[in-house]
Structures are given as structure tokens and as C-alpha cells.
Amino acid sequence: MVCPTCKTAVPNAASQCPACGTATPTDWSETQADSDLDETKVLSDLDETKLFSSQPGDAETQLMRSQDWSKPLASSDAIAALAPGSILGGRYEILKSLGEGGMGAVFKAHDTEVERMVALKVIRPELAASEDILRRFRQELVLARQITHRNVVRIYDLGVADGIRFISMEYVEGQELADILKKRGKLPPQEAGQIILQVCYGLAAAHAEGVVHRDLKPQNIMIAKDERALVMDFGIAHSADAAAVVAENNTAEEADSALTVVGSLLGTPRYMSPEQARAEKVDNRSDLFTVGLILYELVIGDLPPCPNTLKAMLRERSTKQLEPPIKTHPDIPRALSLIIHKCLQLDPAARYQSAEALSHDLEIWLGIRKRHTVNRKVLSGLAAVIVLLAATLVYNLRSKGPVTHNPVKILVSDFVNQSGNPVLDGTLEPLLTTNLEGASFITAYNRGQARKTLASLSPTSTLDENSARLVAQREGVGVVVSGSIGRDGNRYALSARAIDARTNKVIDEQKATAATPADLNRAVGRIASGFRKALGDVTPQSVQIAAAETFSSQSLEASQQYARAQDLQWQGKWDEALKAYSRSTELDPQLGRAYAGMASILANMGRKPDAEKDFKLAMSKIDRMTDREKYRTRGAYYLMERDYDKAIEQFKALEKQFPADPAGIGNLALAYFYARNMTGAAEEGRRVLAIYPDNVLYLNNVGLFAMYAGDFDTAIRESERLLKLNPSFEKAYICLGISQLAKGDEAAAAETFRKVAPLSVWGASASVVGLADMALYQGRPDDALAILDKGVTADLAAHDASRAAAKWLMQAQALLLKGQGAKAIALAERASKESTDESLLYPAAMIFLQAGKPDKALELSQKLGQRLEPDPGAYGKLIQAEDQLNRKQYRDAVRTFQDAQKIADTWLGRYGLGRAYLEAGAFTDADTELDAAVKRQGEATAVFLDDEPSWRYFAPVQYYLARAREGLGSPGAADAYRAYLKIREKSANDPLAKDAQERLKSLGAK
């Protein structure tokens, strides 16, 4: 025998290697005695790769020391006793059994220490008793748990508790690909390609960490409910395999279901690569062979034919080239067949050499990536125009804008400050980011978002290079920039590097020095210029550095405060962020983007006059902003002013010049939304989500845009997807609850609204509004009042008069349903003093009108009409029209409603115009407008486009639509009356419901 560790000859009877002391596994002699494998080079798996050293490394030692391995092991009976409700180690609450595998039982559990769901793989006692197997597990897990990618099931730890050894990992709700294959037989080629593409993404992240799976199979690929494919069991299955030897006469199928070791062959036989079958050293390309086999199985429905016995199958796999699948299955797409066949090459050198290369071809075949082609006519004429090219280069750069370039996403990590100057802490990163984003194709990933993502991946809060790589791999960011600043004598020395986030390969390294802190702006500009050139920017360096000096603050202290303000703003600490922004403007009064930062916060806080003041200050410093900042600032100002056309113009210009800028696309979607172009908003929302697929803010917007567009199924799906990524994202519950209510699933909506209450003070307030809105929609005023009373008390205790005012108006609406007009008026008066916003003044005016106080309503109309923005002006007109409708001035009401719609085409305007036509006897026009209100029902979910539930406004539409159709003599009138009565079946004293019942009787309908 030969020792696999040091290659020393070992006597057959020896229990360990005389040279290095490695224990002698029982399968050494069996491997050498296997005559059928004599021609095969057999290597021990412990020598296959440098990953498995004979001595544990620092990370492995730390993992080993974190567990108490001296405790006695539990028996199989103890493991079997892990019933739902039991607690393992005082930490893991067992929720249910997920099944059993070769290693042992698998459970879904709640990790009460960190409040997350996990999957626990409990190791069988006979495996856990082997120190050699445990050592292998630990070695594998040290590597495998470094993989943090959305297409890889995350491994957390190898633990021991109550004598039971287990592996804890990410819990994914879904089903194994093997089960899907069993149910469906085979998958459509496009669907199969999408699944395997995601598998390749996960493998690329693993291979970048130096981890080879070596046991890929459909059972190790999970398809989550959101259709995400995740690779499982890195470093687990093949380590467990060392515990068993498959008999020579086993069939391949029997071997697949057993723990498989033939000599040092590790893996599932039918999915082995040729080099695995020969027991040779394996690398990334072995996984890609198996990927090809799985893709073959997905589109054909079965694996390529192979012999029945294990030894014959291994011999054929190691020596025979598999045929292209199209040869036996001519219906498979030719391009897909070529991809599969390239994966299945006998020689690893003839296969794809990386998961990225395979992903590239799959993306082209799926239409995700465009194939780059060469125009032969252009090539033939190239020599003739080469001189002209040199002469016209400057003209082309100036007249045609930036050179087209694929978007590049970067993440700037925290720089290491070794200079001894604390002013440089957190100062250089935003300077470098601004300079890098001077290239139109470069977009920086928000560092605040990166820190939030990091918190879910790692206990560290430092966004160093390694942490930034974790975030970049998770979020699909291609480039990580890291650096440090120190001293070189009397000068500041700045060094930085840009690396490929997937492969960790260095793209470029740059150094620069500065005599004084004030000179660092220019040094940062030189660093950024070098990186931009390495990434493909052709802008002359002199232009870039001049821009750096123009757009950077001349005060490093101001830059530091600005960077701090940005981080605080992203964390939602708005008061602290405002102070930091203010401090930065005191240090540098010309820092325009700091004023813009303050303005955006103030606008979100509802302090519009203050926001307008700071926006004007930002505009006065606009010459100190980059083009990106100019477009962003002007666009944000127009959004606040609800000047949608100008906002759309700014964000379209931003998007044109900077195609991957999330602010350009995301805010363009928002501008379309405010302009009530819901289709455009949804399209732009999906575009930005394609660039940043796991960004919860963009995910939330896509769900909301779908809700407002009336596509409640999509809104529900996207909200549920978001909540799986981030269960504490409160606004997603509101979108989900409103959409469920609009779909008629009232029980689910109520449950959703209750779920958001414990999350925060805001969540508790939103829960109250959602539940009260449902009660008013159903005509249950007493229930609404009880719910709202608690909410108002909480708002006042929190000194949040604005949210209390919204609830007072809902209480007033409930009181009107009960006929208590005086109390309703008092609440409306109180609420209308808290804001000049139409979301409060319009409903207050409606209460005044219904309670017989038109003068008060018209005062609010006048107040709204004095504002320049379109929406307040439109709502001011709507109040006048409602007053005319109350006075039975129907024709005047129609004209005023039409005037309001010319200012802004609101849902409430359509609804009001339909009612005015109805009262005027214009039944066709009434049906047209009310039918439009039904088609645009998504806007009724939150009529002021502020995400505040308002489905109660939609309830009477069916009643008035029924009356319009009754006037037309349409048989649809009865159905509409029934629809309204269904909504109000729990209502006790609804006058419209009583009238609907009487009208149904007069129609002779039941």
C-alpha cells in the first residue's frame, strides 16, 4: 500500500503510516486488490487537493474548538425522539421532519438564538463516532460555509448538542429537482436552461472559493418557491461517503442510493465525471461534466444509457465519449445540444473551463446576453478608413457621447486608515465613488445597502475587502475596490486595487501620493482614472482629474460629514443624518449635494417648505455637481413638486447617459407612477430589478406598481418573495394585505395586517390602518372605531400627530356611517389643522360636505387650489364638484369634474364624474366612467398614491355602476347590485345596501 499523505510505502498489515502516522483506512487494501481497476490511477481523496491538509488550519481549528467533542454520543433512539416541539441544545426548536438521507435525519428547526429558520442534518451515530469522518466534515465545512451566494444553500456550522452531532444550514422552502423530475418526467428546454444557469452561478461562487462539489445530482439542487435554484451539500455528501464501501456487484442504481466509495471514488456513480470514475484528481471541470449530465436529464427525461453494474458503468464512464443528445433526440434545440455535448467531453481540457464560460453560452441561448458578431463588410473596409478614424476621433467623442460599454457595478469597501489622521476615516470612499461614476457605464452599489446585506451574512460590521466580496457575490456586483492610506515620509500614500468579485483576480492596482490632506482630492482622482481606464473608459485622464477637482469638496472634514450623513440616511436615522449634512454645509457652503441630501430627507418627513428651501440651495450650487448628481437632484425636486413631466425628462436623460444607474431607472419608474402611467412604472420597475434582483426597495416598488395597476396576483407574488428575503420589511406586508383584500381573501388580508404590527411602531400604526380600512370597506363602523381608537392613542403617545390625523379622518368616516355627524365634524376639523396635504384635506372636506358643512369644505378646496402642483389643484376642483353634486347642480358638477381631470387624471375624479353623469341621467357616460373606475381599481387601493390602505373608497362603485346599468336597462345591473351586497353583507345600517336590495326586488331578481 501507499500512504495517501506522504506517498511512503506501507505494509499491508500496518495500522498507520510509519513515516507520518496517517491511520490506515480499511479500503486501501481493497482498492489495490480490485483487479478491474488495475489500469486506473487511484489517488486517496485526502491527497486530491490542497484543501485537505493533514493539519487543520486556523479557521478549522476555530471551528473545532467551538464544539465540545468530548460529550458522549446519543443513540439512534435519541435522534428518533426529536419530535416536533422538542428543543435541541436549548436553542433549536424542532418544527418537523423533512426526511432521511445517507447521513441521517433532516429537520426543519427554529434557531431561537438568532431568530431564523434552519435545516438541521443530524449525523447518524455510526458516522459521528468516527473521528476521521468528523475531521473531514470540519475541513469541508470551513470552506463550504464561506460560500454566500443566492444560488447556494448556506452552511452555518457543525454543532453538537445533547450528544447529537448535526450540521445547521439555511432553510429553503421548495422541492428537490429530483422530485420535480419524478413528477414531470422532463422539463421544457427553456425552463431546464434557466435552472442550470442558476446552478452555474452558484458553482462559480463556490469554485471562486476553491470548493469543488464532486457530488452534484438532482437531489442536491433545490428549487425554491420563488423559482430560485440553489445548490446544496457542498462538502457534506462526499465526506459522509467515506463511511461505506459499495459491493462490487451492486447495480448503478443501488450504488446511487448508498453511501458510495469504490477505492477512493467519491460521489454518486451515475453522475460521476470520467476522472472521478478513474479515481483521479478532480477540479472545477468535473462539476461541469455533471452539470451537463443533469441538463441532459432535464430535457431528455433520463440520463444517457449505461451498464447495469457499478464496475461496468465506471469502466464505460471513464473510457467512452458520450454522444451529442441531438443524435438520439432530434427534437432538442441544436444550440442546447452543443452546450450539453461540450460539458460531456471525456477530456476535461475539451470541456468548458469555468462555470462562467458555461453561463455565458447559456445566457446567449436563453436570450439574456447578446452574441457579439463581427461584420465582415466592415472588416474588409477597415484598412481604407483607418486614417479617417484618427482624424475624426475627437469629433466622435464630442458629438456622439460616451462609448457604448456593458454596465459595470462596483462596490467600494472601507479603506484602511493608517495615516494617523482621523479626518480620513470614511472620507475617501465617497470621493472615489463619485470619481468612478464619472464613467457612464460604472454604477456604484450603495455602501449603506452593502452594510445591511453584510449584517445578514456575517457577524462583522466592517466592510473590508473580504466582506465586500461576500456582499458583491450575493448582490451580483462585479467589481470590488479596496484600499488603504498611510504615510510615506511627510507625504500621504494612497494605494488601492480593483478585483473581480467572483474570481478574486486583480483587475488593476493604483498608487498615488499627496503632500497635504487638501491634495488628496487629486490623488483620489488619479486612482479613479486608472481604474476607469482598466475597466474600459476612454475619457482622457486630464479631463477626469479636472472633474475630480471641480466636483469634490475642498474640505476633507466636510467630505467626512457628508459620508457619515449618507450612511445615517440609509440606516433611516434621519435626524442624525440631517445634522451631519448640515455640518458638512457649514464646513463647505458650496457642497450642493449635501443640500440635496437634506432636501430629500425633509421631503420624506413631510416637511415640504424646508425641503423646498434646501432644494433651492442645492440648485444654486449645481455647477459643483457631476452630471449624475445634477440629473438626480433636479429629478428629485420635480418629483417632490409632483411635476411629473419634468421629472420624467430628467430621469430619462440620466438613464440615457448612465444606463445602469439605479436612481435613473428607479426614479423614472416613480415619476411614471405619480403620473399614473402604471404600465410604464411597472416596466421601469422590472428593469431596475433585473439589474439589482435582490434589492428589497426595488422589489417592494415592483409589488406596489403591480398593486396600483390592479395586477394583484403579481403584487402578492412579489410581496411574498420580498418577505422571504426580508421578513421584517414592513411595507411589503401592506402591499400584500391590500392586494389580498382586493382579491377578496379577507381572512388572509387580516392575518397579514396583524403580522406587521409587532415589527415596529410604524408597523403597529400601519396594521391599525389596514384593519380599520377593511372594516369600513365591509360597512362595520363599530369595529373600525374600536381598532382606530387604540391606534390614535399610540400615535399621540409617540407625538406623531400626522398619523393620528389620518386615523381621526377614518374615525369620522365611521361616525358618518353611524349617523353621528357632529362628532365627525369635530374630528375632521382637528385633522385638517395638521397638514396642507391633499391626503388629509380632501377626505376632511368630504366629511364636511356629508355632514352639512359645505363652507368648511370649500375653504379646504381654496387652500388646495393655491398650490402649484397638479394633484392638489385637481383635488381642490374635486371638492368643488362634490359640493355642486350635493346641491344637485349636476351639469355644473360634470364640468368641474372634467376640469379636475384635465389637471390630473385621478381615480377619485373618474368615480366622481361617473356619479355626476348618473345623477344627470347620462347613463351611458356614467357607465363609461364607472367602468373605468373598476378597470383602474388598483389605484383605489391607496387613492393618494401614498401606500396608505384606502380600499374602503372602492366599495360603493359597484352600487353606482349597478344604477347606471339599471338606467340603461342592462341585465348586468342585478349582478352589480349583488356584488355590492356581497361586500356589505356584514353591515347593519348601510343605506346603499338597503336601496340595492329594494332595487333588486323591483328588477325581479333574487
Q: Catalytic residue positions?
A: 215
In the beta sheet, which residues pair with residue 120? 107, 168
Specify whether the CB–CB gap between 676 and 704 falls below 8 A: no
How many degrees, rounded to 5, is the angle at CA 439 between CA 438 and CA 442? 110
Q: Give the separation between CA 346 and CA 342, rounded to whole angstroms.
A: 9
Quickly count: other Cβ atoms within 10 Å of residue 32's Cβ: 15
Q: Give the separation between CA 648 and CA 671, rounded to whole angstroms.
A: 6
Q: Which three cell numbers stand for residue 804?
A: 393620528
How many degrees, rounded to 5, is the angle at CA 196 between CA 340 and CA 457? 145
In the beta sheet, which residues pair with residue 408? 442
End-to-end CA distance of the chain: 92
Q: Which three cell numbers stand for residue 476?
A: 451580483
| SS3 category, 101 | coil
In the beta sheet, which residues pair with residue 495? 484, 511
* Cβ partners under 8 Å of residue 887, min gap 6: 854
Q: Give the separation between CA 227 and CA 986, rounded to whole angstroms.
A: 39
Give how far Cα 280 sits from Cα of 40, 272, 305, 1001, Å: 8, 12, 23, 85
In the beta sheet, which residues pair with residue 119? 108, 169
Amino acid at 201: Y
SS3 annotation, 499-560: EECCCCCEEEEEEEEECCHHHHHHHHHHHHHHHHHHHCCCCCHHHHHHHHHHHCCCCHHHHH
- The helix-helix angle for 957-968 and 991-1002 (nearest 10°) equals 30
In the beta sheet, which residues pair with residue 221? 231
Amino acid at 889: Q
The closest alpha carbon to 26, from 16, 38, 37, 41, belongs to 16
How many degrees, rounded to 5, is the angle at CA 470 between CA 405 and CA 414? 80
- The helix-helix angle for 465-475 and 447-457 (nearest 10°) equals 90
Specify whether the CB–CB gap between 767 and 760 falls below 8 A: no
Q: Which three cell numbers stand for residue 41?
A: 490511477
Q: Which three cell numbers stand for residue 549?
A: 477637482
Q: Which three cell numbers stand for residue 339?
A: 452546450
Amino acid at 551: F
Q: Which three cell numbers stand for residue 611?
A: 425641503
Concatenate the DSSP letters of all residues of 713-738 into one string: HHHHHHHHHHHHH-TT-HHHHHHHHH
Specify whether the CB–CB gap between 778 and 986 falls below 8 A: yes
